[in-house]
Structure 1
Amino acid sequence: MKQLRLLVSGLLTILATSSLTGCVTFNSQTLDLHPQIQVSRVLSKEKRIEIVPKDLRSDSVIGYRYTGEADAPSIVLKDSLHLLQHTTEHALEDMGIVRFYGGEFNLTISLIDLNYRASESKIKQTVNLDTKLKVTVSKGNKSYTGTYTADKQQTFVGVPSEEENEKLVNNLFSSVMNLAMNDQQLLDFIQFN
Structure 2
Amino acid sequence: MMMHKLRTTCMSVALIATAALLSACGTSPQRLYVNPQVGEMGVVGHGQQVVVDVLDERPSERIGSRDGATNASSYLVVPTGDLTPKLEAQTVSALRRMGFVPVSAEQANQGAAELTISLTELAYGVKRGGLITDTATLNGVIKAVAVSGKQRYTGSYTATRDQGYALKPSQEKNTEMVSEVIGDALTRAFQDTTLIRQLDQ
The normalised TM-score by structure 1 is 0.77
Q: Percent of pairs identical after alignment?
A: 27
Where does residue 100 of structure 1 map in the other structure? Answer: 103
C-alpha distance in 1 between matches for 2:195 and 2:70: 45
1:101-153 CA distance string (max 9 Å, x none):
23301111111110001244433231011111110011221111111111111
Structure-2 residue corresponding to 1:60? 61
1:10 equivalent in structure 2 = none
Deviation at 1:97, TM superposition (A): 2.7
Aligned to 2:29: 28
How many residue pairs were aligned? 168
Query: Closer, same or farther in 2 for the Cα pair 1:95/1:28, shift >3 Å?
Result: same
Which deviates the most, 134-143 or 31-40? Answer: 31-40
- Return the letter of the residue paired with 1:109: I
How well do the aligned residues superpose, as a CA RMSD in angstroms?
A: 2.2
Corresponding residue to 1:123 among 107, 126, 132: 132
User: Retained in 1: the 8 A contact 2:43–2:99?
Assistant: yes
Whether contact under 8 Å (2:148, 2:198) holds in the other structure is: no
SS in 2 for 1:52: strand
CA distance in 1, matches of 2:102, 2:132: 52
Sort the Cα spacing of 1:50 and 1:181 in 2 relative to 1 into closer, same or farther, 3 A: same
Task: Compute the displacement of 1:45 (Å).
Answer: 5.5
- Judging changes above 3 Å, is the alpha-carbon distance between structure 1 residues 170 and 28 closer, same or farther for their aligned structure 2 residues? same
Match of 1:187 in 2: 196
Where does structure 2 lack aligned partners over 5 or more consecutive residues? 1-25
Mark the CA change 1:57 to 1:99 in structure 2 (over 3 Å): closer, same or farther.
closer
* Corresponding letter in the other structure for 1:89: V
Q: Which residue of 1 aligns with 2:169?
A: 160
Structure 1: 5+ residue runs without aligned partners? 1-24
> TM-score, length-normalised on structure 2?
0.74
Residue from 166, 175, 180 that aligns with 2:184: 175
1:134 and 1:35 mapped to 2: Cα distance? 16
Q: Distance in 2 between matches of 1:117 and 1:64?
A: 7
Q: Secondary structure at the match of 2:116?
A: strand
Alpha-carbon distance, 1:185 to partner: 0.9
Contact 1:26 1:67 in 2 (8 A): no
Q: Which moved more, 1:181-190 or 1:43-52?
A: 43-52
Q: Secondary structure at the match of 2:157?
A: strand
* Distance of aligned partners of 1:67 and 1:139 in 2 relative to their CA distance in 1, 3 Å threshold: closer
Query: How far, CA to CA, are the matches of 1:47 and 1:179 in structure 2?
Result: 21
Write the deviation string for residues 25-63 of structure 1: whole angstroms up to 9, x where unpaired.
695222222222223321446311111112222111011
SS in 1 for 2:59: coil
